[in-house]
Amino acid sequence: MASICLQPLSPLPWTRPHPAPLYPSLIASAPFSKYCVLAPIYLWAVGIAAVRSFQILKEIGGSLVDYKLGLANIFIQHTSASLTINENADPDVRKDMETYLNLSVPEGPTAPWVHTDEGPDDMPAHVKSSLLGASLTIPISHGRLALGTWQGIWLCEHRDRASGRNIIVTLQGE
């Protein structure tokens, strides 16, 4: 089950400091909320875990009501998993997406990958992650994520075996 990290989020030691913002008064006037959601992965056949979207929304839902208008940035701290928005009503969409990704980015001994030290699924996972992306920015409207009727947030796991994934959610708005 996902849980909120209670410790403050800090930059990693090897990241460069950010320069001062051009318009600090605009940024200072917009409230921020930060969450780190730990998402355990339930291994599915290929691993697009659309069900995780409900846990992410459950964790941040109480804070969304504080925002009439804003943005939610959702970021996954991994290179072999990704985030995307897609239909969340019909499970066939997930199956078709898995089929497409597996046909487009092959695994196994005949695949053309050089980076294979971490297993035959590692490099394909990096490619799939790059294709789908590591972050989403979603508008907040009247205390809710402004997703379409059928849209859901998918956490896509591209490894055969993976532990929990760290997701950082940053809310900004008024």
Is residue 16 domain-resident? no
Spatial neighbors of 52 by CB under 8 A, at least 6 apart, are 2, 39, 41, 153, 154, 155
Q: How far apart are CA 152 and CA 70, in angstroms?
A: 18
The upper half-sphere exposure of residue 104, i.e. CA atoms within 13 Å in the direction of its Cβ, equals 12
User: How many other C-beta atoms are found inside a 10 Å radius of the C-beta of residue 158?
Assistant: 28
DSSP state letter for 65:
T
User: How many other C-beta atoms are found inside a 10 Å radius of the C-beta of residue 61?
Assistant: 13
Q: How many domains does the chain divide into?
A: 1
Q: How far apart are CA 11 and CA 15, in angstroms?
A: 7
Q: Spell out the per-residue pLDDT of the chain, length 174, in tens.
A: 333 333 333 344 434 444 444 444 444 455 667 666 666 544 333 344 444 555 667 777 778 888 889 999 999 999 999 998 888 888 888 889 888 999 999 998 899 999 999 999 999 999 999 999 999 999 999 998 898 888 888 888 888 887 778 888 888 888
Is residue 23 domain-resident? no
Q: Is there a contact between 53 and 152 (Cβ–Cβ < 8 Å)?
A: yes
Domain that holds residue 73: 30-108+116-173
Is residue 3 domain-resident? no
CATH of the domain at 134: 2.60.120.460
Is residue 12 domain-resident? no
Is residue 132 domain-resident? yes
Stated pTM of the model: 0.74
Q: How far apart are CA 152 and CA 52, in angstroms?
A: 10
Is residue 9 domain-resident? no
Is residue 5 domain-resident? no
Is residue 34 domain-resident? yes
Cα distances from 59 to residues 1, 14, 168, in angstroms, run 10, 29, 11
For the record, the structure tokens of 139 come out as 């508008």
